Structure formats: C-alpha cells, structure tokens
Amino acid sequence: MTDEEPAIPERTVADAVIETLLEWGVRRVFICPGSTEAAFLDATLRHPGLEVLLTTHESVAVSMADGHARATGEPAVVYLHTHLGLANGLAHLDAARLARSPVVVLTGLKPRSVQAHDGFTTLPGTGALAAPFVKRHWQSLAAGEVADDLARCLRAAVMEPRGPAWLGIGQDLLEAGCDAPAAGPGRFRVEAGPAPDPLLLDEAARLLAAAGRPVIVAGAEAARHDAGGAVLDLAERLGGTVFHEDRRSFERSVVPTSHPRYAGLYDPEHPVAAGAGAVLLLGCRGFVEFEPFGRPLLPAAAKVVHSHVDPAEIGRTHRVDVAVVGDERRVAVGLLERLPSRAGGDAGGGDCAGPAPVASRADGVATVEEVVDAIAEVADAGTTVIEDATTSETALLTGLPQFSPASMVTTVSGSLGWGMGAALGYQLAAPDRQVVAVVGDGVFQFGPQALWAAARYRIPVLYLVINNRSYAAVAAAMARHRKRAGQDAGDLSEYPGKDISGIDIAAVAAGFGVAARRLTRARDIPAAVRDLRETGGPALIEILTDPDDLGGRPR
Amino acid sequence: MTDEEPAIPERTVADAVIETLLEWGVRRVFICPGSTEAAFLDATLRHPGLEVLLTTHESVAVSMADGHARATGEPAVVYLHTHLGLANGLAHLDAARLARSPVVVLTGLKPRSVQAHDGFTTLPGTGALAAPFVKRHWQSLAAGEVADDLARCLRAAVMEPRGPAWLGIGQDLLEAGCDAPAAGPGRFRVEAGPAPDPLLLDEAARLLAAAGRPVIVAGAEAARHDAGGAVLDLAERLGGTVFHEDRRSFERSVVPTSHPRYAGLYDPEHPVAAGAGAVLLLGCRGFVEFEPFGRPLLPAAAKVVHSHVDPAEIGRTHRVDVAVVGDERRVAVGLLERLPSRAGGDAGGGDCAGPAPVASRADGVATVEEVVDAIAEVADAGTTVIEDATTSETALLTGLPQFSPASMVTTVSGSLGWGMGAALGYQLAAPDRQVVAVVGDGVFQFGPQALWAAARYRIPVLYLVINNRSYAAVAAAMARHRKRAGQDAGDLSEYPGKDISGIDIAAVAAGFGVAARRLTRARDIPAAVRDLRETGGPALIEILTDPDDLGGRPR
C-alpha cells in the first residue's frame, strides 16, 4: 500500500448494518464497546450520517436508547459488548419492555470459532439472557444474513404490540465482506396495528352509554397512540371522569392534569371511582400489584371495558365485561362515533385549584413536597420531567402539573437508575424541551456514569437529586413487615439496609465534569436552576431531605 | 401490645435462613436490598453473629462476595433484590463462575401471588437468568423447604468442581413462620473431591519421566488446591520448568515468581516451552482464545498431560495424551511418588534477576511500566494485588513480584469493574494483608459505587487507577481490524469509542468519602501510598498515563 493508492475499504457487514440503520431512519447508536465492535466503529467513519454516542456503562446506553425511543416513537439502537455488556443492560431493558419501547439491542460476540471453544467473554446461548425482555432474539449465523436479521429485529420492535428486540453478531461476521443489499424498511416494515372489532365497540358503547357515572382510566399506551384528545372528548360525551393509571402502572400522562374532567391517579376509594357505574380501562395495565392488593380494585357494581393494544394485558388481574384489542386512539374514536351526545355530566372530578400550598417544617429540613413545589415553579409546558425517585414518586406524580404526554415520563420497572440515562436520550431526541431528571440518591448511585455522557456530549439535562440518604423504600417495607407481625415500627435509625449516607453527590457530579450545587433549602432550587441553565450544559442540584420520610403521601 | 408485653417475634423462615448460614460458618452477607428483603434485614437484628454489608449496587455486592470467597475458600453469600438486582449482578457472577468461587446468590422475589399476576418487579422464570452462571438454580416453593433449599445451594457451591449457586425466595415465604430446623452442613456438606485414577497417574508419570525437558503449566485451580509446593517439588524432580497460565487464563499465581524454576507466563514461543518434550497442564484451562489463536499452542513433539478437577476443562482446545481428573495437589503428590529422583535438570527458566529497570519517557508522561515499578516498590509478601486493568494487565502480571498465591488475584471473565468490589471482599476476609486494587479508568467507571462501601465500612483497600483516558482495548482491536483489512492503523485520536477522558477520578473518589490523590509522575506513587495508608481507611491514587499506549508488552 502506498500513499498514492490508499486501500479502499471493502464493504463489510458492518457497512451493511449501518446502511440498514440509516434506511430505517436511525441516526444515533448508543454504544458501550469492546473489541468485538471494532469493525462497526471503524465503519461509522465511512458513514457520517450515523452518530456514535459513547457511554461508559451499558446501563446508560440502554436507558438512553429507551428515553430516545420514548421521545420519538421510532426505533433506538444500542450496541453492547458480549454477554457481559448485555447482562449489564438487562435491568433497563426491562424498563423498555414494560414501556413497549422499540429498543433494538445489538450485541457483539466473539468470532464463531472462539464461541465454540468457550473462549474469552463467551457464553453459550447468550441470546437466552435477552429472551425474557424482548419480542425477538436471534444470533446471526451467516454474513449474508446479518442486515436482514437486523431488519427483522427492527420490524419486530415497531410492530404492535411494540417492544425491544435483540441481535447477536459475531465479530467474524461483522468483519466479513458483504454483497447483500441494505435491508431497508420497504422490504420489512409493516404498519398493521390491530383495528378494534366493530361489534365489540358496539357492545362497549352500549354498556358505557347505559351506565351511570362512567370513569375512564387512561394509561400509557393511550398516550403513545396519541389518544389524549379523544379521551377528553369521550369523557365529555359520557359526562365522565378521567383518571390516570395508579402509581404502579403510570408511565406517562395522557390528559392535562389541569383539565376539569381529570381527577388524579386512579384510586378505587376515590368517591368518583367508587360510585362509577362503568369503568373504561383504556391502554392501561390495570393493575400492577406491589404487594397483594387486599382490596377490590374495581367498584363491585361497575361494568368493565378494557381496551389495550396487547391482548395479554387485558383482564390480567380483574374481571372484564367487554374486551377490545386495538390501538387506543382508534378505540376512543370508535366509541365516540357510537355514543349519543348527552349533556356534560356531573362527574367531573378535576381538582382545578391545584395542590394546597405546602408549609415549611419548623426544623428547616426540606420536605419532598417543598421540592415538588420548587420544581413546579420552574416547569412549564416545555418541560419534560423524567421521574425515577422511588419514595418521592407519589408526591411528584400528584404534585407536578402535567400539560401533555411529554410532561412526565417514568418507568414502572423498578429498575433503579433508569432516569439517569433516559433523560439524556429523551433530551437528545427532543432538543427543544427542557428535560429535568428527578431522581433519588439511591437511584443516582445506580447510574452516576450517565454524567460522563452528559458532560461529553453537553446534553443540557438538569438532574435534581432528592437526597434523603436512605433506602426509604426498604425502610417502609420493614415497617410494613413489622406491622404485619404485630410489632411497632421501632426506631428507624436502627433499620439495617436503610442508611446510605456518606456520598456528596454534587462533588461526584463535579468530578464527572457536570456543574453542580448542594442545597438544603427547597426555596433555593429555582434560583439555582436559573443559574445552572445559563451554563448551557448538563447540571445537577442535590437537595437534602429528611432521611425518615418514607414517602407515599399523595397531594 | 403494651410496653410491658413486647411481641416476641415468631421464628420466621428468615431466622431459619440466618441460622443455616451461621451453621455453615457464614458470618457476612453482602446485600443490595429492596422491599422483598425486609424480613431478612429485620431478622438480622436477632442474630448479631451475621454481619450485613450494605452496598449501593449489585455489581459491588457480587464482586465483594467473590473476593471474599477467593480469600477464604469458603462460601460467600450475596442477597439481591428481584430479577433486576440479579441482572445487575450477572456480569460479576460470571467472574465467580470462571474462578469456581463458591458464591451463593440469594434473590428476594415478590410474594408468590404477585409473581403469578405479573406484578411489580416480577419476571417469570427469573432463575433462568442465573442458570448459565451457576451450578444450581432453584426457586423455593414452600416455607418449610427454604432452609434446606439454601443448604443444597451451599452444598453445590462447595462440592468439586466448585462454583456459584442461586436461590430465589419469595417475600411471603421469607416472612412465614417456620418450625423447620436450620439446615447445617452436617446434613448436607460432603467432602468428596475426585481422587486421581492411580493407573492414569502411573501413565502420566511414565510419560513425564521419559520425556526430555518437561514443562509444567500451573493454573489457578492448582493454587486453589494448595499445590504450589508440590508443583515446585515436581519441577525439581523432573528437572523441569514451571510457567503460569497465560494472560487469558491467569487468575492467580501458583509458585513464587522469583523461584529459579519459574519462567513466566506460558508462551509456546518461549524457547523452553518450544523445546519441551512433555507438557503437564496442571489445573489450568489451557487455553482461552481471545481471537482465533492462529498458531499451535503446544510443541508439536511434546506429550501432553492435562489434569484438572473439572473434566469439562480437559482438552477443550487441544490434544491430550493423558487426562487426569482430580484435585491438583493430589495429582502433583501422586506424580512425585511415582517419579524416580533425578538430578535437577538444566531447564530452569527463571528470570532471577527480575525485570530490567524502566527508562522514563522524555516527555515526562508516566508509563505503565513505571507505574508497575512503583507498585513493586511498595508491595511485599503481605500485599495482595487485585488486578483489573485490561491493557495494563500484561505489564502487571509480568512485572510484579508474586510471593505466594495470595500475591496476585485477577479474573479471566472480562467483566469490567470486578476488581472494584473484589478488593473489598478480599480485604475483609484477609484483614492482615494489604490489598491494592490496580484498575483502569474504564474499569473504575464500571464500579465507582464500590467506593461507597469502602468508605462506609472503612475497608483499607488502596485503589490505584491507571488513567489513560482511553478504551485502549477497543483501540487495539480497531488497529488489529485495520491490519487484517490491509490498512494502516491511522490516527488513534480519530478512533471512535476510544476517548473516555473527562472524569477527574480522584475528585469522584473524594465525593464518595475516599481519600484520593491525582498524580502525573509514577515516582510520586510510593510516597502517596505511604501518606494515604496513614489514614487507616480506603484510599485512591489516580495516575495519568499515555492515552495511546495500547498495552500488551510483557516484561
């Protein structure tokens, strides 16, 4: 090889992979690489249309992709290294599974012969690790098939009901020369969401029209299918009330929380819910147990209509009178077409006045409610709150105004640390929004490496860490356990597994290159937010709250 | 309930679990808890003999347990939370699998009815996630069986060939009353390692005695079975040379590296190895491919004896003339008994003079070799180096003196971050040793949460972070890839996926409450070590090295 005649790189499978991604509209890959991804990284230099987002832990790569997919509704692609990288990404892949995010996880595997010999970083049947979390898992067997294999994963991810998919690619295959064309969406993508059955819509409409005081519980899938407007129209037509899913199922808002028809998170003991003659569960999981419910979740006398794009979700934990499989917007519109006009009813349950103001504690310790109010002060219709704050969750979901489905995004997976990366992916995909990640200190420690990516790419997410220096959820569980055993809660300070004090989160953030403040007074948050936003980059505010606040109080 | 009559806690399954652990001699549990472990945490207050070591990420809990088990040779127990915590622990469980560490992973699961209903943080078949990494995986089905289920896991973990085991315990079972006795080792533990077949030992001895210039490759299992002395006796008797396993298989030293019979890490091109008439592979994996070998690993003319406690390891990638399954010390002693005395031969390959001194770079940038020399200056027979430093590994393994099997402990798993926690577990189990964790900056970012546990429990590990601000292994792979494609390596600074600069590791460590220094000159390391050791707690030294040093040079 001479300077005059540079070697023109042969087209490799890695090129075909990238061409395929670009044809599907994928412009970013979230990667935590090892040696097995070298050919892919090299090929990205030949395809400047694909941006490589480097991360320093797989949990960050996967949660970033999930956040990105939630913002765009289109596939987001992660590239991990061997079964080890895949393992490190699984917990947040569970969040993508539950949110039906079209996250496609590629995993670089060792050359096929090295796999066969139990070589370094190999595990027979690596795909089995991904299997419980994805719709499709496949390890490519031949170089000529890899691009098509990828397209089949992308296709699976975007077909309803949506969800993640996994593809393993051996290093030898990735490096191989390739004549196969890119596998664009034309050959593979099918838009064929299920239409609701008209006869079942007839039946559901009759039931809802006949019942007194109908209630709609609107879930994350209704938001994903852009059903918010139709839900409100339906509530008006029925003279009914709209709830969002309860905390354990809630992933994003569907209707504005200020709307007079909106009554809060669903609670079977809410007077409007308890008195309902019919309940329409629209695109919600209905219901997710944390511990056994111990009480009925639906009014005994109410008729129940459950609609969801995924038949597996319908009637999973409760009785159903009419089940409708289908896109929730089409279901809501179909019901509207079948319902007679009737005067706006009396069942609006909206708490239009908003939450009551919060009194400060005499000892000056910041309360979670004060923190929520401070966030509300700086949040507007352009703000997206990425919520991952465990015992502060109820206060956040019930205390923050939600203007649109983009106002509040969370996970029901329980996978701590998800918000650290998801906020970055969401912000990249929605550069015009102001993303605020509200996380707990325990959560922070599950994803501090996200700050490295935030700083590297100057992603202007504001992290707000509610630092109670406790695993408060563990303490709350211990108190419940003692109550079940007929004992007093005892002294919280003696609970093992509760105290996680000792870290200066603002100092850690600064070490990662993120501008940070540690605060003790919630009322200082808005000014700090305004100051830090002037940096134009990522920022973090740590606010110290009461270690013994075990959370759970709605507003 | 009144103050006069406090409720006496009923004995629960959690008590039976703890009693069982204590009977097996387990005195510590490494935990990253959630709500499902509340009853266990509560019960620990009734059993002060069991110490709860809290961690803030499961990867730390698992690697601490692995380090502990490697130091003691006895079971170490981890308690994780649901399939999510298990998933986060899998990568380091792979390190325990490959090291045959008796790590028992307990995982708290939701109550059985909640599991059946696909409730919060449930995943059907969670045990399948653990399956590829453990010898036994089981989810307890009934309260009366849990203690026995635990004992069966402990039994599996310590029976040869050893390895991790997994037990899932539903929250309802853990909280249930329990009459079942503790399941101590008396009923369950069996010491029955395989004795080598005397006839095969005869054959192996004949072969070794007849061959000229025999070579012994001693692996981690030989160290675990305390075969170091017998290996040296055998080398003397045979007039042979001892190698350690090569870098991709090496987990701990077997013989002192200063011994005149020791010749370094096994390399088939080493003149002594190349000229060997027989090779005895004793307790080593022989061989682990990183990429396809591309060259013969054994001298074509040599007879090959392979002995390992695990039959699955024997002859996995190479031909074998005599295979002996059994405890490596008994194999070595058995061979000694069968071999005639002969004069100490000429094949000693020891590099008694030690590595050549290292010259400083003209530009003053610290080299990895200088860092190794600085560590050697502060390391003595009481030092344990926990090595997890990727592209610096070869320099460390070939440049640091190893006095005993406790001198150098590493992993062949490729699971980055393992050393961050393993060092803590090893130090807890071996308080009289000075543990130095030598890790890379990429590795650091895979386990910064270990510093929280280090600070909380004041575990006096010294972390030495070789910060080249690069994924040098990725860059090295990319350079090899280009070479295979007939191209120049090109400009390293343009490699995507290489540059991970931006973090001030010493500052992050300080944020976690760990005393830390950032250095640029390797010669300042010994003084910093001495200063920091005076604190009596954990400490960290970050040394900046050349980002473009892609490693791999032996000394």
The verdict on B486 touching A (C-beta cutoff 8 Å) is yes
What is the ipTM score, two decimals? 0.96
pLDDT at A540: 98
Which residues make Cβ contacts (< 8 Å) with residue A329, sequence separation at least 6?
Answer: A222, A225, A226, A227, A230
pLDDT average, residue stretch B91-106: 98
What percentage of chain A carries pLDDT values higher than 90?
Answer: 88
Tokens at A327, concatenated:
């896109």
- How many residues does this entry show for chain A? 555
A297 shares contact with chain B (CB less than 8 Å): no
Instruction: Say how many C-beta atoms besides its own lie within 10 A of residue A189's C-beta.
Output: 16
Question: Is the pLDDT at A3 greater than 60, yes or no?
Answer: no
Average pLDDT over residues B521-527: 97
Task: For chain A, positions 453-472, list CB contacts with chain B under 8 A.
Answer: 455-456, 471
Q: Is the pLDDT of residue A1 over 50?
A: no
Give the type of residue at A59.
S
| B121–A contact, CB cutoff 8 A | yes
CA distance B448 to chain A (A): 8
* pLDDT for the residue B348: 52
The alpha carbon of residue B460 is apart from the nearest alpha carbon of chain A, in Å, by: 16
State whether residue A221 is helix, strand or coil: helix
Q: CB distance B91–A91 less than 8 Å?
A: no
**Neighboring chain B residues of A33 at a CB cutoff of 8 Å:** 471, 474, 497
| Tens digits of residue pLDDT in A244-272 | 999 999 999 999 999 999 999 999 999 99
Please answer yes or no on whether A88 and B84 come within 8 Å at the CB atom: no
Q: What is the dihedral of CA B291, B296, B302, B303, to 10 degrees?
A: 50
Give the model confidence (pLDDT) of A117-155 as tens digits: 999 999 999 999 999 999 999 999 999 999 999 999 999
CB contacts, 8 Å: B7 with chain A: 485-487
For residue A185 the two structure tokens come to 């969406």
Token digits of residue B525: 């390391």
Tokens of A412: 């029901």
Phi, psi of B527 (to 5 degrees): -65, -40
Residue type at position A159: M
Q: What pLDDT is recorded for position B356? A: 66
Q: Is B90 in Cβ contact with A129 (below 8 Å)? A: yes
CB distance B380 to B230 below 8 Å: no
Q: Which of B56, B110, B503 sits opposite A513 (nearest CB)?
A: B503
Chain B partners of A38 at a C-beta cutoff of 8 Å?
474, 477-478, 480-481
Q: Cβ of A496 and B175 within 8 Å?
A: no
Task: Give A45→chain B minimum CA distance, Å.
Answer: 8
What percent of chain B clears pLDDT 90, i.e. is strictly above it? 88
- Give the phi and the psi of residue A129 in degrees, each rounded to 5: -65, -40
State the pLDDT at residue A396: 96
**DSSP category for residue B499:** B
For A131, nearest residue in chain B (alpha carbons) = B129
Q: Within an 8 Å CB–CB cutoff, is residue A123 touching chain B?
A: yes
- CA distances to B133, B275, B442 from A126, in Å: 11, 40, 24
- Overall pTM > 0.90: yes
Look over chain A and give the mean of its residue pLDDT values, rounded to a whole number. Answer: 93
Q: Which tens digits make up the pLDDT trace of A221-249?
A: 999 999 999 999 999 999 999 999 999 99
Supply the pLDDT for residue A551: 85
The pLDDT > 70 percentage for chain A reads 95
A352 pLDDT above the threshold of 50: no
* Tens-digit pLDDT profile for residues B47-59: 999 999 999 999 9
Instruction: Please give the DSSP secondary-structure letter assigned to residue A277.
Output: S
B125 touches B164 (CB < 8 A): no
Under 8 Å between Cβ of B223 and B252: yes
Contact A238, A261 (CB under 8 A): no
Closest in B45, B445, B449 to A445, CB measured: B449
From the list B422, B460, B415, B463, the residue with the least C-alpha distance to B66 is: B422
Is pLDDT above 80 for A358? no
pLDDT digit string (tens) for B279-307?
999 999 889 999 998 888 999 999 999 99
Contact A94 B87 (CB under 8 A): yes
Whether the pLDDT of residue A89 is over 50: the answer is yes
Whether B45 contacts chain A with CB within 8 A: yes
- The order of strands in the sheet holding B51-54 is B51-54, B28-31, B76-81, B103-109, B165-170, B136-139
Nearby residues of B43 by Cβ (< 8 Å), 6 or more positions away: B9, B12, B14, B15, B17, B18
pLDDT at B352 exceeding the cut of 70: no
The band of A194, judged by pLDDT with boundaries at 50, 70 and 90, is confident
Measured between CA atoms, how close is B226 to chain A, in angstroms? 26
Alpha carbon of residue A92 to chain centroid = 9
Write down the pLDDT at residue B65: 98
Sheet containing B262-265: which strands, arranged edge to edge? B262-265, B241-244, B214-218, B278-282, B303-308, B322-325
Query: Does residue A64 surpass a pLDDT of 50?
Result: yes
pLDDT band for position A361 (50/70/90)? confident
- Residue A420 and residue A63: Cα distance in Å, rounded? 8
Q: How far apart are CA B174 and CA B147, in angstroms?
A: 10
pLDDT score recorded for residue B2: 41
Cβ atoms of A250 and A244 closer than 8 Å: yes
Compute the average pLDDT of residues A343-352: 50
Q: What is the pLDDT of residues B426-446, one digit of tens each?
A: 999 999 999 999 999 999 999
